[in-house]
Amino acid sequence: MARKKEEIKAQEEEKTIEQTFAELEELLEKMEEGDCSLEESFKYYEAGVKMVKSCHEKIDQVEKQIILLSEEELES
């Protein structure tokens, strides 16, 4: 079970932020259609939360890199 979670996380890390946002939009469209069951809606919601978390982590990494580059530029 833990191995599968690690594989899923590795796949999410390989995706770009743009790809993840596109998938998130697809999930939102499916949920907004209203044709899915409560169980499906919950699965979509859960997947969406994971995608948002993944994007947030990637954006944080980029922000940290920008800060480091800015500090290096100021020091030189």
Q: What angle do CA 1, 25, 47 make, to 5 degrees?
A: 15
Looking at the domain assignment, is residue 52 inside a domain?
A: yes
Per-residue model confidence (pLDDT) at position 11: 60
pLDDT grade for 13, boundaries at 50, 70 and 90: low
Looking at the domain assignment, is residue 37 inside a domain?
A: yes
Residue-wise pLDDT tens digits, 55-71: 999 999 999 999 999 98
For 1, which DSSP code? -
Inter-axis angle of helices 38-75 and 2-14, nearest 10: 60
Looking at the domain assignment, is residue 43 inside a domain?
A: yes
CB of 48 closer than 8 Å to CB of 24:
yes
Per-residue model confidence (pLDDT) at position 7: 61
Residue-wise pLDDT tens digits, 24-37: 999 999 999 989 99
If one counts the domains in the chain, the total is: 1
For 36, which DSSP code? S
Looking at the domain assignment, is residue 31 inside a domain?
A: yes
Averaged over 33-42, what is the pLDDT?
91
Per-residue model confidence (pLDDT) at position 23: 95
Q: Which residue type does 22 have? A: A
